[in-house]
Amino acid sequence: MSKRGAEDSGNGSSQPPIKKVHFEPHLIGPVSTLEEMDIKVLQFQNKKLAQRIEQRHRCEAELRARIEQLEKRQTQDDAVLCVVNRYWNLLNEDIRVLLQRFDAETADESENKNENEATTSFLMQLSTWDKEELDAQLANRVQVSKRAVAKVLQAFDRLQQRNDKIWKAIKGEGEEGAPPPSLDTVVLAANEEVTAENRRLQALSTTLHETHHSMTLRVAQLQDAVNSRDTENAELKNQIDDLQYELMKVTSTYISYECYESESKKAVNEQKELKLLLDMYKGVSKEQRDKVQLMAAERKARQELEDHRQKAKMAQESKRERRVADEDALRKIKQLEEQKYELQKQLSCARPNADPLHAFSRPFAGSQEEEALLNEMEVTGQAFEDMQEQNSRLIQQLREKDDANFKLMSERIKANSLHKLLREEKQLLQEQVVTRDQQIESMGAVARRLEEKERLLQTTLSAVEKELVLRQQAMEMHKRKAIESAQSAADLKLHLEKYHAQMKEAQQVVAEKTSALEAEAYKTKRLHEELAMLRRKAERMKKMEQAGSSMDEVLLEEIKEYKETLTCPSCKVKRKDAVLTKCFHVFCWDCLRTRYETRQRKCPKCNAAFGANDYHRLYLST
């Protein structure tokens, strides 16, 4: 007790006291017999089982609602993943088309294989991958997209370098001291023709690309639909398995519930039998009840008689012991009398003058009285034993009569109960016979209706057979048409392949013409820029010639113009030292910073929106 008290005191500071669970008592009510108590206990157990079953049904309903909610959420997530996958595939496809238009080097076969594997059956792969495989596959797909973008940038850099070379050739600089190429009217005329052809091919390529893009979208949508249907099919199979498992569980619980119900029915039947016996006991007449009470009183008297008999046996045993003690005392008295007689004889011998008759008179009289008493005691004992034997015989006869009466009473009660039960069974059988007759009549009516349905079905079957013959003939005709359409489809496929080859050749020509046109456009742009620069130089020279001695004023005016160009157009005070990467307009850092902080995040010139990572410092060096 001391150790337990110490542990409780030590743990009392760290842990809160344990809350006691209080159970509400269930009042069974007044019970007179054990059978009624068992019946009420079974009823209480059935009630508790019904409550548990209802609670389980509620839990199952809540879980089903939760499962439906999770399934809806999963379908929404699958739809979002399908959209992301589709647009990612479109991005990769657009990048691939750009690479083909730029004539970039294609990736090796392993990379193309990885890309195709990464962009097909996305949902099925997500359902089979674990977390590590998912991270690895997504990282691989991101790397594929990054490599494709890097290739596009490389192709753009190559085009930029080629345009620079062409521009240098147009300017007449040449490479390694070579003479500058000459431009003539023939080249310009050819350029115009190529430009017109390029426009036509560009329009054709655009229409083909749009159709290809729409077809790719359609194929991706259909593929996503197929994948979603596959996942739904798998989910439905899993739901079927779960429902079968739940059905097995419910069947087992139903079987156990039926067992409990059968046990409760047995208990109810036993209760009915006990009630029936009680009613029969109550329905017995007053004479029989008085007889039963007299028999109970007789039993009580018999018990008292047995007690008195035991007491009589004990008294007889004490009497026997007393008689044995009396016999011992008489023997001792006889011995003493004999000793006395001998002593008196010796005394008479010593005194011869004494009277001898007086000496012998007293002992003789005492021995006769004792013998008479002993004879009377034996006679009374024999009579008492005879009376006891007679009483035992009479008691045995009374017992046999009582047992016979009890057996007759119990047999009569059982016979009455059996008679009542047989009467009830007879009534039930009569009711069953009536219900069976009604069922037979209803089944006869059902059989007649089924015969009528059979005749109708036979007529419909003959009509269906005729229709089947017609359908077979139509099917053969459609088969012939299908063969003909397959042949025409094969011919159309050959024509389509031919057109595809022509389209590829046209795309190549368009790509070549486009590159040449872009080069010429770049050349013309650079020429216009040089022309504008030369015009500005000519105007400045004219001003200098007109000014004459005021060259300083002209130079100051130019310096002023240069300063205005270097001044921020927003605040008109500070120098330009920041650039917007969205539109490449240049302003001062403070203006862009204040615009970003005051949430006026648009370019002052073109109103292009920008963010925190879209403006950077700009350093101008001389």
565-606 pLDDT tens trace: 889 988 988 888 899 988 888 999 999 999 999 988 899 888
* Token representation of residue 223: 């593929």
Q: What mean pLDDT comes out for the span 548-562? A: 76
Residue with tokens 């003539």: 184
pLDDT digits (tens, 9 = 90+) for 168-215: 665 655 445 455 444 455 556 656 766 776 777 777 777 777 777 777
At residue 358, the pLDDT reads 45
* Helix-, strand-, coil-residue percentages of the chain, each rounded to 5: 85, 0, 15
Burial class (CB in 10 A: 0-12, 13-18, 19+), 227: buried
Which distant-in-sequence residues (6+ apart) come within 8 Å of 514 by Cβ? 101, 198, 201, 202
Torsion of CA 241, 247, 250, 251, to 10 degrees: -130
> Is pLDDT above 80 for 562?
yes
HSE-CB at 73 with a 13 A cutoff on CA atoms is 6
Is the model more confident about 509 or about 425? 509
* Token representation of residue 207: 């229409």
Q: Decide: 127 and 184 in contact? Cβ < 8 Å.
A: no
What strands lie across the sheet with 586-587, from one edge to the other?
Answer: 586-587, 578-580, 615-617
Q: In the structure, what pLDDT confidence band is assigned to residue 338 with cuts at 50, 70 and 90?
A: confident
User: How many Cβ atoms sit within 10 Å of the Cβ of residue 377?
Assistant: 14
CATH number of 567-617: 3.30.40.10
Degrees, nearest 5: CA angle 378-382-383: 120
Share of the chain above pLDDT 90, in %: 2
Burial class (CB in 10 A: 0-12, 13-18, 19+), 587: buried
pTM of the model: 0.28
pLDDT digits (tens, 9 = 90+) for 424-435: 877 887 787 788
Instruction: Report helix angle 356-547 to 286-350, nearest 10.
Output: 140
* Token representation of residue 70: 């999770």
Q: In the structure, what pLDDT confidence band is assigned to residue 158 with cuts at 50, 70 and 90?
A: confident
Residue type, 272: K
At residue 548, the pLDDT reads 61
CA-closest candidate to residue 584, choices 565, 600, 608:
608
At residue 579, the pLDDT reads 92
pLDDT digits (tens, 9 = 90+) for 52-102: 888 888 888 888 888 888 888 877 877 777 777 777 777 777 777 777 766
CA-closest candidate to residue 69, choices 79, 80, 57, 61:
61
- CATH 3.30.40.10 intervals, the chain: 567-617
At residue 125, the pLDDT reads 67
